[in-house]
A and B are shown apart, each in its own frame.
Chain A
Amino acid sequence: MYSLNQRFNNQDIPEDEFMASGNSACAGCAASLSMGLALKGLGKPTVLVIPACCFTIIPGAWPLTALDVPVFQAAFETTGSTLSGIKAAYRKRGMDDVCVVGWAGDGGTFDIGIQALSATAERNDDVVYVCYDNEAYMNTGIQRSGGTPMGAWTTTTPVKDPKSEPKKDIDEIMIAHRIPYLATATAAYPHDMIAKFKKARSIKGTRFIHLLSACPTGWRVPENLSIEVMRLAVLSNIFPLFEVENAEIFRQTVIPDEVIPVERYLRLQGRFRHLTDEAVKEYQKMVDDRFERLRKRFEITE
C-alpha cells in the first residue's frame, strides 16, 4: 500500500493555501511544506503559537509574514502555557470554535518546552500541539537535542563523539498523559498527514501531532531528497506512522509494502556517515525492538 516511489493524486488535497511560497526556509526544508499541509487539514479559524525555532525565521521578518492565520511568536519554553492562555481567552469571549495550535520544534518540545507541554496535557486543555521534529536545534546551527537520534553527528556531538543515547520517546511520554489524540505524521505522506490534522480538529482536549521533518542542512542530505529520506524513515520503521486515541486505541495508518533496512535510511545522510557496519546492525536491532513493542499494541486494538 505504501512504497518509496509512489505518487499521490493531488485532487484529494484541499486547495486552500494559508502559507505563501515566498518564505525564508532553506532549500528542501520539510517544515515549510509541513506547515502548508497542516493548515490545509486544520482549516480556519485557526491561530498559531510559534516559539523560538526555525519557524521564527521562516515566515519572514517584521512587517512581512508568509502565514495567513494569526500568529503569536512566543518564548522558547512557553508553547504549552501560551496555548492554554489563548484558549482561555477565547472561551471567555465565546470563541470556542477557534482552533489554537502550537507549532514547535524538537528542542522546544522534547527539551525546554516539555514542562509547559506536560502541564497543558495534564489539564487536557483544548489545544493542538504540533512538534515538527528535525532532530536537532537546527535554527541555531544543528546542536544536539533530546530529539537527536543515537549516533548522529551534530555541531555539539562531533564525529569523534556522536550522540550515544537513543532519541527521547516523546510519543510514549505524551501517551502516558492519556490525551485524547496523538498522531505521528510526515509531509512525505501528505494524505495521511492531512487526515490526521482534520481528525485532530474534530476532537476536544489536548491533541499532539509529532511530525518528522527532514532538514537537508542538518541531516547532510541533498535538498531534493527530503521526501525520500522521510519516506525511508517511515518504511524502515524508524518513524512509523500511527495514531493513538485516549492512550487506548493504537492504529498504524501507513503500513509499508515492504520494510526497508534502516541502513538505507542511515547511509543516505551525512550525519550518520561515520557509523560502522556493526553500529548499523545495532541500530537495526534498536529500531526493530521499538517497533515490536508498538506492533503488539497495534495488534491488540485491531
Chain B
Amino acid sequence: MRKVLTGNQAVAYGAMLSDVQVVAAYPITPQTTIIEELADMQAEGLADLDYIRVESEHSAMAACIGASMGGVRTFTATCGQGLFLMHEMLHYATGARTPVVLANVNRAIAAPWSIWSDQTDSVSQRETGWIQLYCEGNQEVLDTTIMAFKIAESLRLPAMVILDAFFLSHTSEPIEIPDIEAVRDFLPPYDPGDLWLDPDNPRTFGSLCMPDTYMEFRWQIQRDMERAKQVIDEVQDDFGRVFGRNYRQVEGYRSDDADVVMVVSGTVASTGRDAIDFLRARGEGVGMVKIKTLRPFPRQELVAALRGKKKVAVIDRNFSPGATGVWAQEIRSALYELPEDERPIIYGYIAGLGGRDISIKTIEEIYQKTREADQPDDVDIWIGVNYV
C-alpha cells in the first residue's frame, strides 16, 4: 500500500507494524506527531499497545527499560533536550541489555532555543552503547524502524532511529507501507529468552558489581557492538530480499572513480545526490559516501570506500566544541590506519547547525573549497557563518 506520510508518521507506522507492545513517551517539538499518531493508532484499535503517558523523557526511557525487563517490545521517541534528559537512562538501557528502540528527531541544542535540525543531540550519545541509524528519507525511516527492532533484539542492545527535524519529520513523501503479515514474518514477536523479570525464576538484575566483575559486563557490550556490524548487514540484506529495498551502512554515490569524495549523513545525502550530478555534469571528479551508522562505526567499509582518494570532505551538521565535527573525528581516526600514500586529505566542514539550510549551493561551495586548497585551512571549516 502506498501512502503520503511525513517522517514522523513513517516512524509511527514502523512501530505499529512492528507490533510494539509498550510505548512510554513525553511530547517535545518536533517529535510530537510521532506520539500523537501512536495514540490515535491505539485508540482506533490499529495498534495493540500499552501507552504510558510519562511526565518526562527521563521517565519515558526508565519506563521503557522497565517494560523491556518485563519481557515485551518497547518504543519511545524524542529529540534534542529530551534526548539530553534521557542521557543517564540511555546508558542504563545498554547496561541492562534492554533492546529498546527510540526514534530521535535531530533537533538543535539550547541555549539559545532552536527547534530545527542539528545532529548534536544524537552524536552526543555516542558513548551510550546505542546503535545509531541515520535516515535520508521517509521510506528509509519506516523501513529502518522495523529493522531497528530486529537488530536491537538479536543483540540485546538498544537502537536509535534518527531523522532530521522538519526536513523529514514534517515533510510528506509518498512511501510504500509493507504488509503487516510480511513484517510479522520478518520480525517475529520479541523473545527475551530467560533475561526478564520472571516471577517463577527469581533473579536480580543490575546488582552491585565489584571491580573483579564489572569490566566483563562492559566487555560483553563491546563484543556485541562489534558483532552488530555483521547483524546490521544481515538484517538489511534480509529486508532487501523480502521488501525489495536495500540499505547499507556505507553507501557510495558516483564515488568509485571520484578524486574528491563528500561524506554525508541524514537528509544531506539526498541534496548531495543532486549536487554531485550537477558537479559531474560540469566535469568535476566528485562523488559522495553516505553513512547510516555512527555506532557501531563502519570503519572497514569506510576505509574500503575512501582508500586512495585524493581528498575527503566531511559535512558535519553537529559540532563538538574544542574539537571538530563528530563524523570528521570518526573518519580521521578510521582512515589513519591506511598507509600514507593511500590516505586522503580530510577536510572537515561544519554546516547547517540549528536548521540552517544545506543547499546544493552549500555543497558546491564545500566542494570548491576542497578542490582549491591543497590542505585544509583549519581542522574544521565553518560554512556560511557571519563571524561577528
**Residues in chain A within 8 A of chain B (CB atoms):** 44-47, 49, 56-57, 59-63, 65, 67-75, 77-78, 80-93, 95, 98, 115-116, 118-119, 122-123, 125
Contacts and interface: CB of A to CB of B under 8 A. Distances in A.
Given A75-B89, A86-B69, A119-B55, A81 B24 contact: yes
> Closest 10 interchain pairs by CB?
A89-B70, A85-B66, A73-B206, A85-B63, A81-B59, A78-B62, A119-B55, A45-B199, A82-B66, A85-B67
Contacts of B203: 65, 70-71
Given A60-B207, A115-B56, A88 B50 contact: yes
Contact of A70 (B63, B68, B198): B198
Given A81-B66, A84-B63, A92-B21, A71 B204 contact: yes
B156 to A, nearest CB: 15
Contact of A46 (B67, B199, B213): B199
Contact of B55 (A62, A86, A115): A115
Given A62-B208, A71-B204, A89-B22, A44 B89 contact: no
A70 B66 contact: no
B62 A72 contact: no
Interface in B53-109: 53-56, 58-60, 62-72, 74, 88-89, 92, 96
B52 A123 contact: yes
B202 interface: yes
Contacts of B215: none
A69 B92 CA distance: 22
Question: Quick one: which of A69, A72, A88, A98 has the most chain B CB within 10 A?
Answer: A88
Contacts of B208: 56-57, 61-62, 73
Given A61-B207, A88-B63, A98 B54 contact: no
B93 to A, nearest CB: 10
A92 B22 contact: yes
B205 interface: yes
Given A72-B66, A75-B89, A89-B22, 4 more contacts: A65-B203, A70-B198, A85-B70, A87-B70
B205 A71 contact: yes
A145 to B, nearest CB: 20
A93 B205 CA distance: 20
B210 interface: yes
B388 interface: no
Contact of B52 (A60, A78, A85, A95): A85
A210 B351 CA distance: 54
A19 B72 CA distance: 28
Contacts of B62: 74-75, 78, 81-82, 85, 116
Interface of B: 21-22, 24, 50, 52-56, 58-60, 62-72, 74, 88-89, 92, 96, 197-210, 213
Chief secondary structure at chain A's binding surface: mixed
B66 A86 contact: yes
B197 A116 contact: no
A88 B207 contact: no
Nearest to A78: B62
A47 B201 CA distance: 11
Contacts of A88: 22, 24, 50, 52, 63, 66-67, 70, 72
A266 to B, nearest CB: 34
Contact of B207 (A65, A75, A77, A84): A65
20 contacts: A56-B208, A60-B207, A62-B209, A70-B198, A72-B69, A72-B206, A74-B65, A74-B66, A81-B58, A82-B62, A82-B66, A85-B62, A85-B67, A85-B69, A88-B22, A88-B24, A89-B22, A93-B72, A116-B55, A118-B55
B72 A84 contact: no
A49 B66 contact: yes
A266 B89 CA distance: 40
Nearest to B217: A62
A70 B204 contact: yes
A60 B210 CA distance: 11
Nearest to B209: A62
Contacts of A65: 203-204, 207
A77 B59 CA distance: 9
Contacts of A87: 70
